[in-house]
Copies of this chain bind each other. A is one copy, B any other.
Amino acid sequence: IILLISLAFSMNAQHPVLILNKESVPELRRAMNEYPMWNDMVSQVQQQADEAILEAFDVPVPVDPAGGYTHGKHKQNGKLLKRLGAIYQTTADDKYARYAKNIFMAYAQMYPSLGAHPVKASYAPGRLFWQQLNDAVWLVDAIQGYDCIYEYLQPDERKTIEEKLLRPYADFLSIESKFVFNRIHNHGVWAVAAVGMTGIVLDDDELVCRSLYGIKENNKPNKTKIDANFKKQFEAGFLTQTASLFSPDGYYTEGPYYQRYAMTPFLLFAQSLDNNIPSLKIMEFEDGIFYKAIETLIQLTDANGGFFSINDNLKGMSLNAPEMVWAVDMLYAKTKNPELLDIALTNPTRHINSAGLEVIKGLSDGLAKPISKKSITISDGTNGDAGGIAILRDDENSVCAVLKGASQGLVHGHFDRLNLMFFHEENEVLSDYGAARFVNVKAKEGGRYLPENETFGKQTIAHNTVVINEQSQFDGKFKVANEHHADILFSDYSNPEIRIACAIDSTAYEGKVLTRVSAVFASSHFNNPVLIDLFKVDADIKSGSYDLPFHFLGQILDVGFEYSANSTAQVPLGTENGYQHIWKQATGTSEDACTGITWMYNRRVYSITTSTDKNTELIIGESGANDPAFNLRHEPVFIVRQKGARSHTFASIIESHGTQNPNTESVHGQEKEIKNIELLKDEEAYTALKFESIKGTSFTLLVYTGKRDESKNHTLELEGKTYNWSGAYKLIEN
């Protein structure tokens, strides 16, 4: 205790030190006169602060789960403390600091009396909140507020707040919760950032070392010297979390929804370290991984800025999330890339710090440029060797396909190796259900993940990838799945006409190799770029049934095959592995070499054309069965079922060919543009797909999916002609 107090007194008056730091304050104040946009924004935050301080604050004894009053109030208080601090710094008006002080004192008074939160629903209950994660988030906010009012406080006030609240709080999050703190998981990152930032503000190297290097059984940090020697890493702590959770490409293995969430503590703590311990050279860690992670996260979005539904993802979460503000500001401050301002435009409230001001300056000077996203393969895995995500876009960014050939994504992962999503402009064409959860909705199990997330959301049939024998990948076993990953066998984005990638997996189903080739083909022969999809199942064991689902949204306009509809009674498609959640609406067969469906969604007309034979069964279903609590959305699915096959290749083309206008009632391009598709060759390593447009043009795509050897020459005889090529593929206009 004596040591800690002396530290607090010995500090020079240098606060704030974290993100909003003393050096930037004069400019932040000056900009109020120079940039009306900045002035407006700060004034808005100030107005919120003014409104808050008119009322008595409340620091209630914690009782409620997420969605309840005390949960919401503490969350608000955390944000308010941060806001009051920032406004105190910008206005130098003591009233904000005084109000923040009073809140801190109330917390300091209550905190020592708190035990574990009464809602016992988390593996790691917090003090203020039902789960400790929220406590960590609270401290990340609150410590920024404390940092800002530090100079305003009297020494005895600091002593009270630090001794009764901040240090015990940091100890609770670290040494008393080692199992969370040392975890390689976003919960661990939040705890580490909260404790580390507190350590910086309190000038307490021990807290910083705990955060950087993790804690030993004896509560000591794994390392006590802070330096830029990154070579030796420990099993826990911020550096290890950063190195482990991000791939070298900056992909966070839990997926973009959680990456967005986890970015905040990563970035805030990293920036705090960089501002205060420059010798650590944290921004150079892992080749500048923090910046790279932001860039990658931006690429992992559709045209609405919505994150791709990879693993547990809540639909609607996007680049407009509050967590993205700091990420975009920080990257812009570093790169001055005007496309980042385009994102800032749709989410205009910045944080009050120098990076936020840089963005406002850029916006004020009209520098924003429309964002243009890339075709890119993003590696997964600590060392970038656990597969990845291939994102295929045409040059105009009108369509986007996402092929998943990554690892499981830890506990938030879905059993969806080789899943495929497809977007056209603002619409999902091939959709992914995402997670079954209503965050913060009390009526939906307090906002937690719903049982249907396990029984449907995570199951393979809920995704656009092959299910063998109606069993999910890895038999739905997380432990096994988590030990393996798929791979991106190749990707080639060099040709603007065709962007192509291939993912492969040999572990999801024992003895079976799944290979998927996806290509975005942007040709003047079609209204919009089409998605070519080849899904190969190579099996060395006895035959089974292979289901390839295509999940979509909207209304079926046309069914290309004879079918029998279950119009007067509906039963689920199966009894387990997610099949129990799909109503079986219709089944059919096709006498043609290919068939498909056409549907309308959000004023667009789409079609799938898929190859069929006498062993193909075609199923139309809808999610929502076995859902007594109405937890699931009801969304249609078209399943191509291949029966009694040993090895089989599904060949499909998905198009966005039409538009509808409800005001003029005109429907343009309602006929699909693919007339015919045919597999001319279907061998283990070679596939040749011929497809013909209704205008009569025909194309052949030759693909080699065997062992990679870019110099190898390939030869195929097709329809009496000989084709030679090297590399992964060749596209021929016949």
Contacts and interface: CB of A to CB of B under 8 A. Distances in A.
Interface of A: 67, 314-318, 320-322, 438-444, 555-559, 565, 567-572, 580, 583, 586, 598, 600, 620, 622, 625-630, 633-634, 660, 662-667, 670-671
Contacts of A444: 557
Contacts of A626: 567-568
A284 B444 CA distance: 60
A700 to B, nearest CB: 29
Contacts of A634: 622, 634
Query: Which of A444, A630, A664 is the most central at the interface, judged by chain B CB atoms within 10 Å of its CB?
Result: A630
Given A555-B633, A630-B556, A633-B555, A625 B664 contact: no
Nearest to A440: B667
A381 B442 CA distance: 49
Contacts of A67: 667, 670
A630 B555 contact: yes
Nearest to A554: B633
A664 B317 CA distance: 8
A317 B598 CA distance: 23
A671 B620 CA distance: 37
A391 to B, nearest CB: 22
Q: Name the 9 nearest CB pairs between A and B, nearest first.
A: A316-B662, A565-B628, A443-B558, A556-B630, A570-B570, A439-B665, A321-B663, A440-B667, A320-B663
Nearest to A605: B441
A443 B598 contact: yes
Nearest to A260: B663
A516 to B, nearest CB: 28
A313 to B, nearest CB: 11
A138 to B, nearest CB: 15
Contacts of A316: 662-663
A95 B556 CA distance: 45
Contacts of A318: 662-663
A78 B557 CA distance: 28
Contacts of A625: 567-568, 570
Given A567-B625, A628-B565, A634-B634, A314 B665 contact: yes
A600 B316 CA distance: 14
Nearest to A662: B316
A626 B441 CA distance: 34
Contacts of A663: 316-318, 320-322
Contacts of A622: 634
A575 B630 CA distance: 25
B317 A662 contact: yes
10 contacts: A317-B663, A441-B600, A442-B671, A555-B630, A565-B628, A565-B629, A568-B571, A569-B570, A586-B628, A620-B630
Given A320-B663, A322-B663, A663-B316, A443 B570 contact: no
Contacts of A670: 67, 440-443
A441 B557 contact: yes
A551 to B, nearest CB: 15
A494 B395 CA distance: 59
Query: Which of A443, A559, A572 is the most central at the interface, judged by chain B CB atoms within 10 Å of its CB?
Result: A443
A594 to B, nearest CB: 18
Contacts of A565: 627-629
Contacts of A441: 557, 600, 660, 667, 670
Contacts of A633: 555
A475 B569 CA distance: 26
A481 to B, nearest CB: 27
Contact of A571 (B558, B569, B598, B600): B569
A71 to B, nearest CB: 11
A626 B565 CA distance: 9
A163 to B, nearest CB: 33
Query: Which of A320, A568, A572 is the most central at the interface, judged by chain B CB atoms within 10 Å of its CB?
Result: A568
A572 B568 CA distance: 6
A571 B566 CA distance: 10
Contacts of A443: 557-558, 598, 670
Contacts of A556: 630
Contacts of A628: 565, 567, 586
Contacts of A322: 663-664
Contacts of A558: 443
A561 to B, nearest CB: 13
A21 to B, nearest CB: 26
Nearest to A72: B666
A297 to B, nearest CB: 14
A555 B441 CA distance: 12
A607 to B, nearest CB: 11
A320 B664 CA distance: 9
A598 to B, nearest CB: 6
Contacts of A439: 665, 667
Nearest to A555: B633
Given A440-B666, A443-B558, A565-B628, 6 more contacts: A316-B663, A322-B664, A439-B665, A443-B598, A567-B626, A586-B628
Nearest to A319: B663
Nearest to A575: B568
A569 B662 CA distance: 36
Nearest to A661: B316
A622 B627 CA distance: 14
A24 to B, nearest CB: 26
A388 B320 CA distance: 45
A12 B666 CA distance: 40
A572 B570 CA distance: 9
A345 to B, nearest CB: 15
Nearest to A581: B567
A59 to B, nearest CB: 20
A664 B627 contact: no
Query: Which of A67, A318, A559, A670 is the most central at the interface, judged by chain B CB atoms within 10 Å of its CB?
Result: A670
A628 B634 CA distance: 17
Contacts of A572: 568
